[in-house]
């Protein structure tokens, strides 16, 4: 049982989730890294352990309630209070934006449902199960995207866009219901980042993309809640 401040990160086996885990651990948090792919997740954990960081690992498929429950049970056995939840795991279920198949006219309902299940309902399941472990104080980060902004909504990629717009709504709903607590919940857009999802042409390195996530995960007591941010600055919904 550890007394250290604990952070849970989803999709921690690669990309923004792995770097978020690294940087939160460097800041002194114990990080419970989680991932759907157990082999990759354990390899990622080992990499951070080799760097001298205080991390542990548990498998988690954010689409599965049983899997979320197993993380809750693991947490209760090993830790006291959750300080930070980073809902990072996500998929891009549409064809590439350059592909004419990514038009809304060709949208496959199955892709829309898959995007919603992982990108929106995943964070919902985790917030429902894990926010009670915060004892009224902590930070939740929903890793969203500018592609979910209604103010700048473009064509293409409807499965991804819809799932992130809905995730932003979830942020607002939870923030309203958490108003009487010291729990802050925000959506962030990391920018366009060179990960498996963002691709090689993206403008930001992974450490640059993680900056805004770390900012929202480590807010001061008087920090914002119920907002949408990029690099720590508010952006329109
Ligand atoms: P990535 O490298 O593709 O990583 C996505 C992560 O999500 C992987 O660890 C993946 O695990 C995990 N994941 C997918 N489905 C899952 C599930 N059902 N349960 C648990 N984990 C699951 O992409 P990334 O760029 O780091 O993306 C991280 C977040 O940033 C996503 O929410 C994405 O929408 C958001 N974002 C990224 C960009 C960008 O430019 N990169 C821009 C805006 C927003 P597996 O290995 O098991 O697939």
Domain range annotation of the chain? 6-234
Inter-CA distances, 236 with 85, 148, 172, Å: 23, 10, 13
Distance CA 191, CA 208 (A): 9
**Among 175, 150, 151, 177, residue whose Cα is nearest residue 164:** 150
Residues written for the chain: 237
Interval 135-182: pLDDT, tens: 999 999 999 999 999 999 999 999 999 999 999 999 999 999 999 999
Q: Tell me, yes or no, if 57 is annotated catalytic.
A: no
Terminal Cα distance for the chain, rounded: 40
- From the candidate CATH numbers 3.40.50.300, 1.10.10.10, 3.30.2010.10, 3.40.50.720, the one assigned to the domain spanning 6-234: 3.40.50.720
Task: Give the chain's mean pLDDT.
Answer: 97
Alpha helices (runs of H) in the chain, residue ranges in sequence order:
15-26, 38-50, 65-78, 109-115, 122-130, 158-177, 206-217
- Average of pLDDT values for 10-18? 98
Distance CA 18, CA 20 (A): 5
Distance CA 142, CA 33 (A): 16
- Residues having CB within 6 Å of any atom of ligand 1: 10-11, 13-17, 35-37, 40, 60-63, 88-91, 118, 143, 145, 189-190, 192-193, 195-198, 202
């Amino acid at each position: 049982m550890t007394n250290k401040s604990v952070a849970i990160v989803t999709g921690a086996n690669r990309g923004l989730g792995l770097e978020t885990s690294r940087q939160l651990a460097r800041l002194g948090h114990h990080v419970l890294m989680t991932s759907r792919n157990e082999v990759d997740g354990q390899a990622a954990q080992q990499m951070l352990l080799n760097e001298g960081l205080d991390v542990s690992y548990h498998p988690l498929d954010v689409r599965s309630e049983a899997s979320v429950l197993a993380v809750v049970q693991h947490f209760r056995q090993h830790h006291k209070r959750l300080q930070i939840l980073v809902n990072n795991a996500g998929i891009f279920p549409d064809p590439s934006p350059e592909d004419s198949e990514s038009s809304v006219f060709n949208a496959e309902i199955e892709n829309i449902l898959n995007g919603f299940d992982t990108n929106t309902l995943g964070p919902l399941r985790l917030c429902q199960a894990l926010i009670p472990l915060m004892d009224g104080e902590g930070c939740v980060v929903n890793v969203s995207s500018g592609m979910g902004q209604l103010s700048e909504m473009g064509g293409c990629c409807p499965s991804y866009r819809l799932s992130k717009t809905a995730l932003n709504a979830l942020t607002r709903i939870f923030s309203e219901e958490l108003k009487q607590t010291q729990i802050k919940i925000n959506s962030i857009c990391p920018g366009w980042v060179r990960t498996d999802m963002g691709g090689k042409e993206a403008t930001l390195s992974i450490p640059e993309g993680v900056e805004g996530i770390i900012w929202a995960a480590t807010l001061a007591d008087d920090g914002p809640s119920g907002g949408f941010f990029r690099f720590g600055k508010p952006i329109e919904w």
